[in-house]
Amino acid sequence: MTICVHGLGYIGLATASLFANEGTDVIGFDVNEDVIDRLHEGEPKVSESELESYIQDALECNLTPSRRPQPADVHIICVPTPYDELNDEADLTYVKDAGRNVANVLRPGDTVILESTVPPGTTTGILAPIISRSDLNIGEHVHLGYTPETVMPGNTLTELRTNDRIVGGVDEASVSAIKSLYEPLTTGEIHVAADPTTAEFVKLAQNAERNVSIAYANTLALLAENYGIDVRSAINLANNHPRVDILSPGPGVGGHCLPVDPRFLSDGSGATELIDIANRVNGRMPEHVIRLLEDAIDSLENKTVAVLGITYKGNVSDTRNSPGLEIAQLLGNVTVDTRRAMDGGWNEGSVTIHDPRATDSRLQLVTLDTAVNGADAVIFGAAHDEFAELNPADIRSKMTGRTVIDPVDVIDVDHWTEHGFDVRTI
């Protein structure tokens, strides 16, 4: 069997490597020539050391990078699906392009699997017509289905191998073909959805549930402040109930899955009201972090603030929709090409950003020492392990001020307080 993986981003490359390291011949296709060049050189651009080594192993055996789509028994589409803010809808340009690429090399008996997160109805309503040809009918000559990836960055390999899978095929033969492909690679169960649209819906439902649950935790955090309550302690107590499992609050949600994917459910009916509210609650949390800083410092004017951690969560390199980066933008002149610059900012002083994990070359990252040297305040924007291990005495010796805002629960508050810091948390 030969597999062609279309799209060698974080998930596509990991998926291609998984099959390759299990003995399958895999062609990895991407339109980005820089990605292909790096793979030919054996230098994948990933932040997880275990995954990087795993990809390099695949490149040495069965994974072949390609600048063009190739004929294969199985085509797996793992391309991005950004959100079109202007038109308030998912941008399926990459999915459509991938479909056309597949159609050009498709043969009778081939299987096509869409893994990209998409609005319900995409597999059958958009992809199927694109890959159909007069001599190849979907279901009759070609297997087609949808199976979403559900891995968490930072733990990619483990979750690829152990997470349950959902398969939605256009017919029983398609389901059977897709199940037989994934069954040898995962210790998790493979669940069959009624059709591809149901499988697409389930992936969005999973992400929306977490987004709403985090918004509830953040709402509790805001209320607890008004009552003078330690919200994390209260949540821990509440979770002793066997049917209660409240998540942890924080500075917002980032990445693609939680803040963006739930919006793919919108169908114009108004039924997404709860999801929309959750997005607003989580989207306002970076501003709340700024208010915590304002409460701790008499004036932000001419103050220097170090934001430590601008990836969207701890121990990952991805900065997409990062709350920490949003906080830095609100404070000053930190901008990224693909994000809206903040006009003026909240602070006429300066903002420095440090992140030991971020790999975005467009950001002016500085060393930890440079970031905290002379700083009036520090804000932790991501719960990296490196930050949990910081010595407060070392940080204090470099800072001018003594204010620390920790909305991600990464430091030992009592320990830092003992060293003279005024620590504010969510």
Catalytic residues: 203, 257
Residue 136 has φ and ψ, to the nearest 5°, of -135, 110
